[in-house]
Amino acid sequence: MTTAGPLEIKPERFGRYVLLDRIGIGGMAEVFRAVMAGAQGFQRTFVVKRIISERAQSPYFVEMFVREARINAILHHPNIVQVFDFGEVGGTYFLAMEYVRGRDVSALARRLHERERPCPPGVAAFIAHEVAEALAYAHAQTAPDGTPLNVVHRDVSPSNIICQRTGGVKLLDFGIAQGLGEPEVERSSGGQMFKGKVAYVAPERIMNRAADKRSDLFSLGVVLWELLAGRKLFRAKDDAQTLQNVLEMDIPPPSSIRPDVPPQLDHVVERALARDPAGRYATGYEMAEDLEGVLAGLGYQPRALPALLRELFGGELSSRQIPAASLAAELLAAGAGDPVTGTAPTPSATLLAPQAAPRDYSVPIDGPRHSRWAWWLSGALGSVALIILLVGRGGGRRSLASTVAPPPVPAPVAEPEGSPAVEAAVLPVPLPAPAATPAPANPAPRPVHRTRAKGKGRIARGLSIDPFAEAASRRDR
């Protein structure tokens, strides 16, 4: 897969996805950065890999693509790029994979060469260690009945190893992976065809012998050697000479090119690059274990890889991030479809049409935005005025007098004739009552309506009442 920089394209609707730019293209498929949009501004970034139109009509290439989907469906490892979706849109098969932010090893090596900088041995060993763990997991997969699946990647190369900006390493592209006794060399209309990149192919594959997990470890050894040496190992001007180099060329130890490479790392490279499969590591776990010892001896720190990526690429690591709010609004306005059902939008929807101003989903209020506080304040004042009006009308004072006693008079005061008997009852010294209307010795308390007393008591205590219930109680009376 060629990944030399993104190719800006017109945003293209593809099923439930929107293809934003093309990341790379190979002999079988092209890869896009894409987004899937949903309701309420939801969106997620994916990598969509779809078979190219020239190959979509070939049963052979379609079967290879489907086989890649089947193999990826059983692989769930933190060092392997996860595949989330597989389907068909308009007769074209596709895979939707996780979008890994970072750079592949080929871009890393190229930038190091441009800066005339060697790759730190610890970083190279760490990358190889993570890939060895991923291969060990894939090689060990079995069917539900326990039968080994014999998965062989067959394309372990710098462009298929991604270094994340957060420090992780992921292996991708099981597109030509072998499994279940598939033949290594197949015939096509063009004659004999090797699968994979010839500069990283194992010798036994060139000699048309059966490939197994040790073939992948040879390819990983080539990647590790090139990271340490800062140059290609077997690549020549043409494929024939490259294949000859794989079979016969002397392989110098990395320390002969870089004295700072420790002998333990030389040993790992030498064993991985043994031309006889019997002399190589039997499993990826064995290679990973030796690399763990190298990393411990070098005192490797996990932050070394992300620090190197930031130093070499800087802001480029974030250059493909999507402005979430604007893009989500753009996709939804264009009719992104249902992300669950995959409902396609109407044919007239286009991402390039001028977009309307963002909608305001706040509570609709008449008038300009700056008057909303005034609106709320006037409403509150209106409610207070309504409560006061209801209290003052229809016996509001009677209810208040019946529940709250008047303050005591500090000294006897002569009252004129005709003063209410109810007020005389609260004086500390009894006063003679008027002859015309003698007051009873024990005046009966005035009956109070419990509903009104309850509401007015809340007013007296500074609490709120229900003005509508209060008005209804007055109508009942």
Under 8 Å CB-to-CB from 89, ≥6 apart: which residues? 14, 15, 50
C-alpha–C-alpha distance, residues 106 and 86, integer Å: 27
C-beta separation of 196 from 244 below 8 A: no
Alpha-carbon Rg for the chain, nearest whole angstrom, is: 41
Supply angle C-alpha 271, 107, 100, rounded to 5: 95
C-beta separation of 214 from 221 below 8 A: no
C-alpha–C-alpha distance, residues 251 and 309, integer Å: 29
Supply angle C-alpha 203, 205, 206, rounded to 5: 65
C-alpha–C-alpha distance, residues 54 and 67, integer Å: 19
| Residue 155 falls in the annotated catalytic set | yes
C-beta separation of 111 from 313 below 8 A: yes
C-beta separation of 160 from 171 below 8 A: yes
Beta bridge partners of 14: 17
Residue with tokens 């219930």: 469
DSSP string, 382-425: HHHHHHHHHHHSSSHHHHHHHHSPPPPPSS--PPPTT--HHHHT
Under 8 Å CB-to-CB from 396, ≥6 apart: which residues? 390, 456
Catalytic residue from among 155, 216, 266, 290: 155
C-beta separation of 138 from 68 below 8 A: no
C-beta separation of 236 from 245 below 8 A: yes
Q: CA torsion angle for 183, 188, 193, 195 (degrees, to 10)?
A: -60
Compute how many other C-beta atoms are within 10 angstroms of the C-beta atom of residue 402. Answer: 17
**Amino acid code (one letter) for 367:** G
C-beta separation of 75 from 135 below 8 A: no
Measure CA 131 to chain center.
24
| Tokens at 327, concatenated | 């893009």
Supply angle C-alpha 351, 356, 362, rounded to 5: 120
C-alpha–C-alpha distance, residues 74 and 153, integer Å: 14
Q: What is the crossing angle of helices 121-139 and 263-272, to 10°?
A: 40
Which residues are annotated as catalytic? Answer: 155
